[in-house]
Amino acid sequence: MVKVCTINDLVPGEGLRITSVQPPIAVFLTEDGEVHAIDDTCTHQDASLAEGWLEGCAVECPLHASSFDLRTGAVDQPPARLPVRVHKVELDGDDVLVELSTEAPNLPPTMSQT
């Protein structure tokens, strides 16, 4: 597990882009106090999901309104068709620890898969 931030770095209802891992991930603190981590890049087009709008456990991409479930990565609303990876999150005191998924990321066609 990798420390990516502290709980104090997170704002309820907003995402935080973490670029210390590749591809970048987005960490979210929901209004209910749950912490989730997903790949930060929308699978439809190169847009940061951390800059999207959070409603419950879903984040809407700021570019074309695709929506992703933070718990499963599933697409809730097109135009995206592929899910984002979900990463396991644990809290250790104030530290937010993430275990990165070993699955291949679903990057948009405009980005390199390397």
Q: What is the pLDDT of residues 13-72, one digit of tens each?
A: 999 999 999 999 999 999 999 999 999 999 999 999 999 999 999 999 999 999 999 999
Scored b (16 or more CB within 10 A) or e, 42-78 reads bbbbebbbbebebeebbbbbebeebbbbbeebebeee
Domains in the chain: boundaries:
2-99
2-99 folds as Rieske Iron-sulfur Protein (2.102.10)
Closest CA to 46 of 29, 23, 30: 23
Q: pTM for this one?
A: 0.94
pLDDT in tens, 80-92: 999 999 999 999 9
